[in-house]
């Protein structure tokens, strides 16, 4: 069974090798263990003596406890550990979706969230946010029905970088008894106030949340994600998990444990980068009247609107061809609007350089 092309991945893969500056990347500057030692004080040479057997299949208890601490009401029975956020999302969708189910996905979103339910035979309805990236709750209520099995959301949202208030979405899910699945891989990077929003699982018994080390914790090379849900759902997921996972890297389990036990410090480091870089983008937008954005309030990504008479794909393809700056067109999110997604939690100088290249290119060309 061939799954539909993953548009974003295809877009990146065909260009990655010849990219000059990669604004498609969504992770804050990646950490090494040496840098993680500076942040946490941990001596990672301990890992040399870990016995490299399968270990605890669903993650060590110490790791699962560190994950629990990111939620209000989690405990070890409500957690399983997976191959990154993508493995977490895969298992949730594979387990919950049956042929013929009605699934509503709030879009734009990470393509996995709606293509996989389609692949598993669901009737999938894409419910799009408004142009200001807010959700029209009345229209949403009208779309979700008693026959809705599952509502899928990414929050903070990918690609918009907007953090929803989930309360009204939860109310709609509750009113029809639907499962609410929220990909929360950008959670913990709210730009103002306390960095963590309430997780869906702390609002609703039938909510499932996924998280990972990649975005909020700058450790995408540590392939470790997780699922939080009520124990009954976790048990079902773990039963399917035996067919594609067994266990997670023993080294990654250890590194993730230390990182999550020090999550405030990593989040502080990342928010510093993010907030500085947001200023750089604001400056770019303020000095280029053809560009605008709905300012993101969380995470590491943003959508930049342009007013040139070009499709998003043509815009991003030309930009790449002429400057080597890689961005993601709206078309990769199944949208016709004129925007492109950037990740902006990279090295500040590189970001500035990329934006300069964009400014120069549009000035010369249009």
What is the Cα–Cα distance from 155 to 209, expressed in whole angstroms? 10
Contact 328, 353 (CB under 8 A): no
**Cα–Cα nearest to 188, from 156, 164, 140, 141:** 156
Say whether residue 341 binds its own copies (CB under 8 A).
Answer: no
- Give me the least distance between CB of 259 and its own copies, in Å please: 10
Interacting residues with its own copies between 74 and 113 (CB under 8 A): 83-84, 86-87, 90, 94-95, 97-99, 112
Contact 326, 12 (CB under 8 A): yes
DSSP 343-354: E--S-HHHHHHH
Report the largest interatomic distance among the alpha carbons of the chain, rounded to a whole angstrom: 60
Q: What is the dihedral of CA 67, 70, 76, 82, to 10 degrees?
A: -40
Contact 226, 88 (CB under 8 A): yes
Say whether residue 169 binds its own copies (CB under 8 A).
Answer: no
Q: Looking at beta carbons only, is 250 or 357 nearer to its own copies? A: 250
Window 185-224: contact mask with its own copies (x via CB under 8 A): -----------------------------x---xxxxxx-
Task: Determine the interface stretch with its own copies among 123-131, 163-171, 250-258, 262-270 (rule: CB under 8 A).
Answer: 250-258
Q: Looking at beta carbons only, is 18 or 282 nearer to its own copies? A: 18
Say whether residue 262 binds its own copies (CB under 8 A).
Answer: no
Say whether residue 287 binds its own copies (CB under 8 A).
Answer: no
Strand 102-107 to 148-154 pairing: parallel
Q: Looking at beta carbons only, is 83 or 189 nearer to its own copies? A: 83
Q: How many residues bind its own copies (CB under 8 A)?
A: 63
Task: Determine the interface stretch with its own copies among 5-13, 59-67, 282-290, 355-363 (rule: CB under 8 A).
Answer: 5-13
Of 44, 140, 308, 361, which lies in the binding site for its own copies, with binding defined by CB under 8 A? 44
Q: Looking at beta carbons only, is 45 or 349 nearer to its own copies? A: 45
Say whether residue 32 binds its own copies (CB under 8 A).
Answer: yes
Say whether residue 27 binds its own copies (CB under 8 A).
Answer: yes
Burial class (CB in 10 A: 0-12, 13-18, 19+), 14: exposed
- Give me the least distance between CB of 291 and its own copies, in Å please: 28
By residue count, the chain amounts to 366
Contact 277, 344 (CB under 8 A): yes
Of 1, 192, 194, 309, which lies in the binding site for its own copies, with binding defined by CB under 8 A? 1
Identify each DSSP E strand in 3-132 by its residue range: 21-22, 79-82, 102-107, 123-128
Say whether residue 5 binds its own copies (CB under 8 A).
Answer: yes
DSSP 282-350: HHHHHT-TTEEE----BSSEEEEEE-SSS-HHHHHHHHHHHH-EE-EEGGGGT--SSEEEEE--S-HHH
Task: Determine the interface stretch with its own copies among 48-56, 68-76, 137-145, 274-282 (rule: CB under 8 A).
Answer: 48-56
What contacts 311, CB < 8 A, 6 or more positions away?
Answer: 329, 331, 336, 338
- Give me the least distance between CB of 327 and its own copies, in Å please: 18
Binding site for its own copies (CB under 8 A): 1-3, 5-6, 9, 13, 27, 30-34, 37, 44-45, 47-55, 57, 83-84, 86-87, 90, 94-95, 97-99, 112, 115-116, 119-120, 214, 218-223, 236, 239-240, 242-252, 255
């Amino acid at each position: 069974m061939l799954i539909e092309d993953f548009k974003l991945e295809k877009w990146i893969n065909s260009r990655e090798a010849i990219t000059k500056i990669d604004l498609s990347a969504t992770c804050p500057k990646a950490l090494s263990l040496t840098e993680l030692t500076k942040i946490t004080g941990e001596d990672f040479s301990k890992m040399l003596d870990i016995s490299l057997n399968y270990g605890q299949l669903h993650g060590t208890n110490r790791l699962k406890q560190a994950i629990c601490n990111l939620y209000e009401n989690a405990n070890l029975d409500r957690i399983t550990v997976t191959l990154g956020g993508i493995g977490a999302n895969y298992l949730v969708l594979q387990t919950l979706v049956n042929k013929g189910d009605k699934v509503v996905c709030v879009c734009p979103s990470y393509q996995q969230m709606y293509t996989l339910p389609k692949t598993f035979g669901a009737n999938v309805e894409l419910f799009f946010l408004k142009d200001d990236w807010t959700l029209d709750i009345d229209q949403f209520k009208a779309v979700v029905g008693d026959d809705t099995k599952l509502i899928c959301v990414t929050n903070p949202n990918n690609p918009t970088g907007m953090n929803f208030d989930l309360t009204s979405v939860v109310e709609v899910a509750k009113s029809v008894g639907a499962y609410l699945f929220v990909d929360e891989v950008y959670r913990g990077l709210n730009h103002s106030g306390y960095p963590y929003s309430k997780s869906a699982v702390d609002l609703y018994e039938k909510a499932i949340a996924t998280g990972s080390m990649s975005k909020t914790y700058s450790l995408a090379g540590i392939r470790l994600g997780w699922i939080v849900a009520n124990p009954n759902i976790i048990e079902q997921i773990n039963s399917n998990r035996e067919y594609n996972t067994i266990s997670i890297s023993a080294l990654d389990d250890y590194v993730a444990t230390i990182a999550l036990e020090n999550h405030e410090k990593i989040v502080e480091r990342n928010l510093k980068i993010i907030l500085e870089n947001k200023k750089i983008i604001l400056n770019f937008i303020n000095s280029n009247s053809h560009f605008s954005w709905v300012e993101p309030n969380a995470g590491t990504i943003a959508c930049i609107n342009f007013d040139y008479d070009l499709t998003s794909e043509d815009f991003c393809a030309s930009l790449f061809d002429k400057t080597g700056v890689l961005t993601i067109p709206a078309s990769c999110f199944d949208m016709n609007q004129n925007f492109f997604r950037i990740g902006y939690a990279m090295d500040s100088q590189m970001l500035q350089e990329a934006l300069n290249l964009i400014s120069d290119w549009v000035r010369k060309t249009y």
